Amino acid sequence: MIKGVKKIVLAYSGGLDTSVILKWLQQQYNCDVVTFTADLGQKEEIEPARAKAKSAGVNEIFIEDLREEFVRDYVFPMFRANALYEGEYLLGTSIARPLIAKRLVQIAHKTGCNAISHGATGKGNDQVRFELGAYAIDPDIKIIAPWREWDLLSREKLLKYATDNNIPVEMKHKSGGSPYSMDANLLHISYEGRHLEDPKNEPEESMWRWSVDPKNAPENFQEITIGFKNGDPESLNGKNLLPHEILDQLNTLGGENGIGRLDLVENRYVGMKARGCYETPGGTILLKAHRAIESLTLDREVAHLKDELMPRYASLIYNGYWWSPERIALQTLIDHTQKNVNGWVRLSLYKGNVTLIARDSNDSLFDPEVATFEDDGGAFDHQDAAGFIKLNALRLRLNKKRTKS
């Protein structure tokens, strides 16, 4: 038990975990609990959370539409870096946590709470992400993590607690067991638990919610065009849209064409390996498109430097260091590289694949006169290459001479 708790803000979805946590906090801490529910584009009704919170005796209920802020200020900055964790994961859960942590602390200040609470388990990454974010914003905030305090350490026990305390729970698995542990927002939806805990088990086709099986996707490919300004998508098929509207439409297009499924065994920050399945249709398309427009507009060494820094940047986000000075410093460098990342990219979507068709930019560094295999009219002096090669070979030649002596 955390001492000195007077009033708590709970990150509340209305699902199994947080419904149980709400009741448990009221019982264990005997104080008012404020609920905060964020609409990050999870494509589920969030208003029912209000009714559930009211029925549980909550007087202060915050339900906020954060979709535009989420995509504009978190997802897009991350995509400017082409961030991938361990070469595959597009960080859909990770990037939502700093925004939720920020709003939890802000609501705590607004409502006179001195503690926040979350539903992350003691085995997972989210506890680290929520708490590092909260402490970075308010070093004195108290944080309650029920999974580190109670003995309800399985989803079956949670279901029993819910039944015993008359807590309504939806989305029970058709087999009668506990549901998948899922997290959804505009960037992705994740699945963990149940038979996914054994990496030998194939995911159930019925599990996937956003995408069709690539085998069943349309037989005809679909072309789309994404316009970029300063490294961020600003238009889709010639129409300017808000950031969250672009990502939402790309999710629909990608899902219809079987794009964005991932089955991953990843290394959690707390030290264990974990298996999760993800659907990130829009993000998969955006990554391909962004790298394509960068290929035209970024200087070679700048592009290579970004690729060298990307794994570190991705790990910072995965591990919960969005608000750290090193992530902010990296972001400043990354954003500086994006001022000329402007233009459009045309892509083909077909049965789980995203294929680059064409790209163009008024800020392109590609010079056809220099790159051509035909007569370039003297734009490039071939004789320059001999000296260039000899200078770069000097150390290799000296090293070989030394080994002969």
pLDDT, tens digit (0-9, with 9 covering 90-100), for 215-241: 999 999 999 999 999 999 999 999 999
Tell me if residue 268 is catalytic: no
Asked whether the domain spanning 189-360 has the same topology as the one spanning 7-181, the reply is no
Tell me if residue 94 is catalytic: no
Give pLDDT, residue 181.
84
Return d(Cα 32, Cα 16) in angstroms, integer. Answer: 20
How far does CA 76 lie from the centroid of its chain?
A: 10
Burial category of 7 from C-beta neighbours within 10 Å (exposed 0-12, middle 13-18, buried 19 and up): middle
Asked whether residue 40 carries a pLDDT value surpassing 90, the answer given is: yes
Instruction: Provide the pLDDT confidence category of residue 87 given band limits of 50, 70 and 90.
Output: very high
Instruction: Provide the pLDDT confidence category of residue 378 given band limits of 50, 70 and 90.
Output: confident
Find the catalytic residue in 19, 181, 315, 361: 181
Find the catalytic residue in 13, 17, 155, 232: 17
The more confident residue out of 223 and 194 is: 223
Tell me if residue 151 is catalytic: no
Work out the average pLDDT over 296-317. Answer: 98
The domain spans of the chain are 7-181, 189-360, 373-404
Asked whether residue 177 carries a pLDDT value surpassing 70, the answer given is: no
- The CATH number of 189-360, from 3.40.50.10700, 3.30.56.10, 3.90.1260.10, 3.40.50.80, is 3.90.1260.10
Asked whether residue 110 carries a pLDDT value surpassing 70, the answer given is: yes
Tell me if residue 367 is catalytic: no
Specify the range with the lowest mean pLDDT, choosing from 148-157, 244-253, 329-338.
148-157
User: Contact, 365 vs 297, CB < 8 A?
Assistant: yes
Work out the average pLDDT over 38-52. Answer: 91
Specify the range with the lowest mean pLDDT, choosing from 127-131, 151-155, 235-239.
151-155
Label residues 120-138 b or e (16+ Cβ within 10 Å = b).
bbeebbbbbbbbbbbebbb
Instruction: Provide the pLDDT confidence category of residue 257 given band limits of 50, 70 and 90.
Output: very high
pTM, full prediction: 0.94
The more confident residue out of 338 and 178 is: 338
Specify the range with the lowest mean pLDDT, choosing from 41-45, 84-88, 269-273, 338-342.
41-45
Tokens read off for 376? 């370039």
- CATH class belonging to 7-181: alpha beta
Asked whether residue 15 carries a pLDDT value surpassing 50, the answer given is: yes
Find the catalytic residue in 67, 80, 97, 129: 97
- Which residues are within 8 A (CB) of 286 and not within 5 positions of it... i.e. 6 or more apart? 79, 226, 233, 247, 250
